Amino acid sequence: MKIQKVSADNLLRAAFPASDYEAMLVEKFHQNKRPIHEWLCIHRNKAIAYIAFSNAFHGNLLCGLHLAPMAVTPEFQKQGVGTELLNFALRQAEIKSQPLFVLGKPAFYKKFGFEPCQQPLCPFDKNKANFLSLRNPSNHSFTVGYEAEFTAASMVSSKPASAGKVKATNQGGCNQNRRRR
């Protein structure tokens, strides 16, 4: 019998070889016990794919979830694993009725119904090229906020910056009724 602690750390470092930002981000989510939704895909005792969702904010109020990070270990990419994991996540009760935001490749996420997001603005995507949303009711201008770990991870990451390394802002008000913890 083999008992092991399951972690996404190695697969995140393999999937993002130029940056340890994503691995640090997930480590910090766990250290700080953030209320995230996450799933690991295990194949033959090995973690091969990972997806996480964390709270998105309009000011101090929740306005949906950020999909980040998502990764498939290199040897399993382009075989449908990412598609299956994302489709699975989108069916889950915690996810399926929430507004979702993602900063990623439009060609991949559009297949799941994500569309270019005009509002809110993403603090990490000033030219609005890669910020997408799904079930997003927002029609007025604000900058979406991220959990503090998105900034904290960039401060301890030792490798070059990725898109998520700009300081996140949490500002403005929100017409949603759930408050930030």
Chain residues in the site for ligand COA (CB under 6 A): 15-16, 70-72, 77-83, 104-105, 107-108
Ramachandran category for residue 118: left, alpha or beta (phi over 0 → left; psi -120 to 50 → alpha)? alpha
Can you count the helices (H) and strands (E) in the chain? Answer: 5, 6
CB of residue 153 vs ligand COA: minimum separation in angstroms? 15
Cβ-based nearer residue to ligand COA, 31 or 79 = 79
CB of residue 18 vs ligand COA: minimum separation in angstroms? 10
Q: Identify residue 55 by its one-letter amino acid code.
A: N
d(CA 141, CA 150): 22
CB of residue 175 vs ligand COA: minimum separation in angstroms? 29
d(CA 11, CA 50): 8
Cβ-based nearer residue to ligand COA, 113 or 137 = 113
Cβ-based nearer residue to ligand COA, 77 or 169 = 77
Cβ-based nearer residue to ligand COA, 71 or 89 = 71
User: CB atoms < 10 A from the CB of 128, how many?
Assistant: 13
Cβ-based nearer residue to ligand COA, 162 or 174 = 162
Q: Identify residue 98 by its one-letter amino acid code.
A: Q
Residue nearest to ligand COA (CB): 82
CB of residue 72 vs ligand COA: minimum separation in angstroms? 4
CB of residue 22 vs ligand COA: minimum separation in angstroms? 8
d(CA 57, CA 51): 19
Kind plus residue range of the DSSP H or E element containing 44: none
CB of residue 69 vs ligand COA: minimum separation in angstroms? 6
For residue 32 the two structure tokens come to 């700080």
Cβ-based nearer residue to ligand COA, 99 or 104 = 104
d(CA 17, CA 12): 8
